[in-house]
Copies of this chain bind each other. A is one copy, B any other.
Amino acid sequence: MNLFTFFRSGTAHRVRIALGLKGLSATHSYVDLRVDEQLEPPYAEVNPQKLLPALVVDGKVMIQSPAILEWLEETHPTPPLLPSDPMHRAHVRALAAIVGCDIHPVNNRRILQYLRQQFGASEEAVQTWCGRWIGDGFDAYEAMLRADPGRGAFSFGNAPTLADLYLIPQVESARRFNVDMSRWPLISAVDAACLALPAFADAAPLNQPDAPH
């Protein structure tokens, strides 16, 4: 397996965590988003959407982290990242989608570039934008954690699930945008529980070989 990744890509970060939790290893190809390497060959020929990540398995390319993560779960089911009960699976996938659909894509680099270039947004305005969608999403996420009577130290139950793979990169990004995390004590506790695990620590942006020293 080969993963196209960038240390700061939140979507590649999810896949790095999943590979670690599943005990799988992948070679890395680094795509530097800071200089828009994703828009040009060779990467643009790997993924026509020109976004990270892509996972290549037996010469076949998979794109879109939600699809890659479900593929990893189906083909390498141990340890599971989804519970067995369908309603519980829907709950975990809903938590993941709060981040994966309604926070991350709206704060993605291409969107922020558009705000700066087309709307003349200042860096303060960009931070306010990011904080708004993170806040709305985390408010919902926190409410769902609070309403779950069976929850342990993680987003669901007593072990990491798909939801945590989405949450932890988003918390990392929130801190980078100077969002005050004290508003979400349950999310903050889940973040701490996850970061104590090697798979999460090893996948962290600043622990990647392509991160600045």
Q: Chain A: interface secondary structure?
A: helix
**A204 within 8 Å of B (CB atoms):** no
Q: Which of A62-117 contact B (CB under 8 A)?
A: 62-68, 70-71, 74-75, 86-87, 89-94, 96-98, 100-102, 104-106, 108, 110-111, 114-115
Number of copies of chain A assembled together? 2
Task: Determine whether the beta carbon of B140 is less than 8 Å from that of A49.
Answer: yes
How many residues does chain A have at the interface if contact means C-beta atoms less than 8 Å apart? 53
CB distance from A85 to the nearest CB of B (A): 10
A62 touching B94 in the complex, CB below 8 Å, given contacts A86-B74, A89-B74:
yes
A90 touching B114 in the complex, CB below 8 Å, given contacts A121-B119, A139-B48, A140-B48:
no
Interfacial residues, chain A to chain B (CB-CB below 8 A): 48-51, 57, 60, 62-68, 70-71, 74-75, 86-87, 89-94, 96-98, 100-102, 104-106, 108, 110-111, 114-115, 118-119, 121, 125, 128-129, 132, 136-137, 139-140, 143-144, 147
